[in-house]
Amino acid sequence: MTPRVLNPSRSPTLPEDDSQPTHRSPHLTRLVYAAWLGYWAFLFVIMHTRRPPGARLVERFGDKVIHAAAYFVLAALGGWIALRRGRPLGWHWVLFWVAVYAAYAAADELLQDLVGRNSDLGDWLADVIGASAGLLLAAGLSRLRKPSI
């Protein structure tokens, strides 16, 4: 019986696990990437059209909750792409993407005035909180996953 060789990139106490896949499906990664871009385009469209009278989601959950949830999903999808690509999701990554989503949310709020909607600092703050939560979720998951996945 041959002893198992330890992988230096893993914990020195855990032997290499040959049963785990060492590749990621590029098709699924492309699908997630397309979902992220499509969802971002969808958000742009719905945020820049007039809200129909009696919009039930807004009445039921409140404007800020919807803003936070929308940006949470956007950031979580982006985080999933990074997880699929095996990228490290440390503080630099989180702060960079918080800045990207915060800048986009600010532009989004300012552009809403052009289509008869009101820009609101509270909406922007809800967007940033939602995006931050989605990014922190992805960063937390990256710390839990096994290196070979």
Q: Is 21 part of any domain?
A: no
CA torsion angle for 67, 29, 103, 115 (degrees, to 10)? Answer: -60
55 — pLDDT class (breaks 50, 70, 90): low
Structure-token pair, residue 128: 């940033």
In a domain, 64, yes or no: yes
Domain range for 131 is 26-143
In a domain, 19, yes or no: no
Q: How many domains does the chain have?
A: 1
Residue 105 lies in a domain: yes
Please write the tens of the pLDDT for every residue from 121-145: 999 999 999 999 999 999 988 887 6
4 close to 132: Cβ distance less than 8 angstroms: no
Q: Is residue 148 part of a domain?
A: no
**Dist. CA 39–CA 77, nearest whole Å:** 9
The verdict on residue 66 lying in a domain is: yes
In-domain check, residue 8: no
pTM: 0.72
In this prediction, residue 59 has a pLDDT band, given cuts at 50, 70 and 90, of: low
Q: Please check whether residue 129 lies inside any domain of the structure.
A: yes
